[in-house]
Amino acid sequence: MTTALDPSPAEIQARRDRLLSDIHAVTRQQVGYPVNQDFDYTPLLPLMQYSVNNVGDPFHPSNFRGNTHEIEREVIHRFAGLLRIAPADAWGYVTSGGVEGNRYGLYPARELFPNAMFYFSEETHYSVLKNVRVLNARHIMIRRQDNGEIDYREERSNDRNRPGEPHHRDGGQRGRRHRRDYQGPGR
């Protein structure tokens, strides 16, 4: 007899087949979430037989040599060029998604400005609130307008109530999440 903790090979295969079928069905109808479904990982399948881990800083040697740090540095330098940053002045790492990217964007800001107030809209990605709490950073979530944009009057009011206080705005996500538009810092 098999249990959930000890499934038979046939049960594992059946579950994997159901999962593949379910994922195929939902991704064909994926709307509103910013993910790209137009890719083919087939050329990368030979790499899937190895445990690859980009532990550590891509610009320093790692004790785990099964990594893709060389490619990671190429990606960073490519984006540095697009942003007109000299490759020698660029640093970073490639994240696995927006949550980690948001975390690392907030972390150095908190380290550089430990007394800063973080402002962000209630429409901002959920990970920003989660991460400012984990970082024990002071923050204010600003209401949104009916159209999804940040409530600029409330934002200005918060500024007036804290004159001379350092602050950081989540500039990349000020406005409407998953609505394919952006309200820049001039607004």
pLDDT on residue 186: 54
pLDDT, position 162: 63
CATH classification for the domain delimited by 98-173, as one of 3.90.1010.10, 1.10.287.40, 3.40.640.10, 3.40.50.300: 3.40.640.10
Residue 177 has pLDDT above 50, yes or no: no
- Residue partners of 105: CB distance under 8 A and separation at least 6: 172
Which one-letter amino acid corresponds to residue 118?
A: F
State the chain's mean pLDDT as an integer. 83
pLDDT digits (tens, 9 = 90+) for 23-42: 988 887 777 666 777 788 89
> Which pLDDT belongs to residue 155?
80
The token pair that represents 7 in the structure block: 């499934």
Range with top average pLDDT, 67-81, 105-119, 137-151, 170-184: 67-81
Residue with more model confidence, 75 or 172: 75
Higher pLDDT, 64 or 172: 64
Cα–Cα distances in angstroms (integers) from residue 7 to residues 10, 90, 134, in the given order: 8, 48, 37
**Residues 144, 150, 151, CA angle at the centre, nearest 5°?**
70
Angle at which helix 126-134 crosses helix 98-112, to 10 degrees, equals 40
Q: Where are the domains of the chain?
A: 66-95, 98-173
Residue 72: its pLDDT value, please?
94
Burial class (CB in 10 A: 0-12, 13-18, 19+), 147: exposed
- What is the reported pLDDT for 163? 60
Q: pLDDT digit string (tens) for 64-123?
A: 999 999 999 999 999 999 999 998 999 988 887 888 889 988 999 999 999 888 988 888
How sure is the predictor about 12, in pLDDT bands with cuts at 50, 70 and 90? very high
Percent of residues, the chain, with pLDDT higher than 70:
82
